[in-house]
Amino acid sequence: MSASAQPSLRDEVGKAREMALGAIAGAADSMGLRKVAAELAHKQSALNAVRAQLGKIADASEKKLVGQALSEASGAIEQALAAREAELSAREFADQVARERMDLTEHLSAPQWGAAHIVTQATERLEDVFIGLGFQVAEGPEVETDFYNFEALNMPASHPARSEFDTMFIEPFSDDHEANTVLLRTHTSPVQIRVMQSWKPPIYAIMPGRVFRRDTPDATHMPVFHQIEGLVIDKGITFAHLAGIIEAFTKAFFGNDFTSRLRPSFFPFTEPSAEFDIRRANGSWIELGGCGMVHPNVLRAGGIDPEEYTGFAFGFGIDRMAKERHAVEDIREMYTNDLRFLRQFS
């Protein structure tokens, strides 16, 4: 190799280094920078081409100088890549934050108040009326066991009334249900048992809450809906007290021109049982719910001596009442969360 050719290799290193640094500085974004980095790492890059010739340099001191120039260039390039990468990604992150930023002050200038859902409004009104009649409010779990939802309510494993509740089971999925089988409660009646177990009579309780049934949604059914349960346990409670409370509630909730009636019916957890209807001012009737004297087996399951105490219970759907009150045609509309629907009642 001629003596003049060797310094030109160092020139080439210098040129390649300048080109590389220029390309790095010129990368407009981190994607572009990654492309530059890939090109620089390529076997055929200008620097790597010089590196490939290193072995052919005969003059040891020149070889050392070229080697040094190469490693300095690599170091400088590596540093420049890292610095530019940091700079670009910081800028890109700042851009992204600016782009995705929400202007929350926008909402302050035009205040919009939310309102309670009509089912919540109905529940709160029901609570107010019953609290006014001397009741206390209790709640129970939505995920229940077979024991509380059925067995303690006088529906043992093979009881035919169980099939009326299209139950959603959580576990086990098999058909052989036992007391500890876990399910979504099909009514608020299991809360009766929980209240009896944890309170001492006299008990005057209402228990509102969500209930679940394996039902296809249509204009009058939803698989998730709401009920309110009532329970009274005291000494000397009779069916007359039940009828009196239903009537007092009817007047307080619907108005003085409404009345109630009881029709004989059957529920496993009450004996005798009845259904109650409310008569509108125009003479038409609304079927509201079920009620009856608490069955001795149910009292026992709740740890209460049926020789000492008697009681009555009632239960009815809340969604239906909200639907009735606001003349909603299709119950599904209440759960689509369409603001145009919801704002009518705010």
Among 201, 208, 209, 315, binds ligand DAH (CB under 6 A): 315
208 binds ligand DAH (CB under 6 A): no
292 binds ligand DAH (CB under 6 A): yes
Size of the site for ligand DAH (CB under 6 A): 13
Q: Which is nearer to ligand DAH, 208 or 290 (CB)?
A: 290
Cα–Cα distance for residue pair 157/27, rounded to 1 Å: 74
What's the min distance (Å) between Cβ of 189 and ligand DAH?
4
Cα–Cα distance for residue pair 59/64, rounded to 1 Å: 9
Q: 203-212 and 224-234: which strand pairing?
A: antiparallel
Phi, psi of 274 (to 5 degrees): -150, 160
309 binds ligand DAH (CB under 6 A): no
Q: Which is nearer to ligand DAH, 13 or 183 (CB)?
A: 183
What residues between 250 and 289 interact with ligand DAH by CB under 6 A?
Answer: 267, 269-270, 289
Cα–Cα distance for residue pair 185/206, rounded to 1 Å: 17
Query: Are the beta carbons of 288 and 276 closer than 8 angstroms?
Result: yes
Q: Which stretch binds ligand DAH (CB under 6 A): 21-29, 36-44, 107-115, 313-321?
A: 313-321
Cis ω for the linkage preceding 202 (within 30 of 0)? yes
Q: For residue 118, what are its two tokens?
A: 């009509």
Q: Which is nearer to ligand DAH, 47 or 313 (CB)?
A: 313
291 binds ligand DAH (CB under 6 A): yes
What's the min distance (Å) between Cβ of 334 and ligand DAH?
19
Q: For residue 42, what are its two tokens?
A: 């390529």
Q: Which is nearer to ligand DAH, 12 or 229 (CB)?
A: 229
314 binds ligand DAH (CB under 6 A): yes
What residues between 171 and 190 interact with ligand DAH by CB under 6 A?
Answer: 187, 189
Burial of 84 (0-12, 13-18, 19+ CB in 10 A): buried
Q: Which is nearer to ligand DAH, 169 or 341 (CB)?
A: 169
Q: Which is nearer to ligand DAH, 47 or 242 (CB)?
A: 242
What's the min distance (Å) between Cβ of 104 and ligand DAH?
44
Rg (CA), the chain: 39
**Is the C-alpha dihedral spanning 163, 169, 173, 178 positive or negative?**
negative
Binding site for ligand DAH (CB under 6 A): 187, 189, 229, 267, 269-270, 289-292, 313-315
